[in-house]
Every structure is written in C-alpha cells, then in structure tokens.
Amino acid sequence: MPILFRTTVQNRTIETTQVPLTIDGFILYGLWQNQPYTYANTGAPDPRISTTNQGATISFPLTSASAFYITGSVNFNHEAYTVTVTPSPDSDSPLVGQYNASSRWVGLGMVKYLATGMNRSKTYQVSITNNSPPDLWFDISQVVVLDTPP
C-alpha cells in the first residue's frame, strides 16, 4: 500500500522593488527609493529598493514560514545593517544580528540574511535597519519564504 503525503507547502517570493511598498504588511521607515532598472553601470538588471539614509528600516511580518532569506546586492559602497527577528526561531526573545554588505566586487542577488528552524505556526516580525554611514548604500530585492508541511 503506497504512503500518501499531503502537503501545504506554499513557498513564496516577495518582490521588494517598489516604493511605496504596500504588500504583505511591509512598512518602510526613513527615505527609500526605487532602483527599478540596472545596477549602476553594469547593465545587469537588478530591481530593488535602496537607501543611503542611516537608520532607515524595512519591517514585515512572516507567517507559515519554516525558513526565509533576503536577497540584495553587495558592493564597495555598501556597509553595515542589522536584522532583528522577533521572536527568535529558538526562544521568545528577539534574535538580533549585525551584518555587512561591503565587497570589493559587485554581487547581485546575494543572500544577505538566512533564518532557518522557524516554527511555521508562529508569526514573526522581521526588521532590517541600515546602519551604514550617510552616502553608503543598503538595498533589498526579495524576501523568499520557505514553508514545510505541518
């Protein structure tokens, strides 16, 4: 007798390429701008939203998520940012991490944050804050949410 599996997997990609960002509970604080076309002078398509405003934040809720990752670009003129996930996947307190998107070379569609081991029955609040000094960039292209069967 074959074993049947029923899944409710609903992996989804949330494009973060337009300001104002009014989808799925996303909220932008500070000054953000559309970058809808190519990346700088590379000619490579890379739609995203970006900021040079220190303290600018993007915040959104996640439900039905077992894991998620955030993509964007890295470059010499990108720097520090903080990601906070509340609650953390393994406790009730927030998970806060400091990261850096600085690179000697342009990298498009790079994974800038990855969280795994999440409880799909919880709702998480994710917040990303640009900590770079003025005139240095932070950007985001997508949030990819991975879901597994209950």
Show the domains of the chain with their CATH numbers. Answer: 12-146 (2.60.120.260)
**Measuring CA to CA, which residue among 59, 69, 55 is closest to residue 136?**
55
Cα distance between the two ends of the chain? 23
pLDDT digits (tens, 9 = 90+) for 62-78: 988 899 999 999 999 99
Question: What is the model's pLDDT at position 150?
Answer: 67
Question: What is the model's pLDDT at position 15?
Answer: 66
Question: What is the model's pLDDT at position 40?
Answer: 67
Q: DSSP characters for 20-67?
A: S--STT-EEES--EEE-SB-TTS--B--EEEE--TT-EEEEEE-S-SE
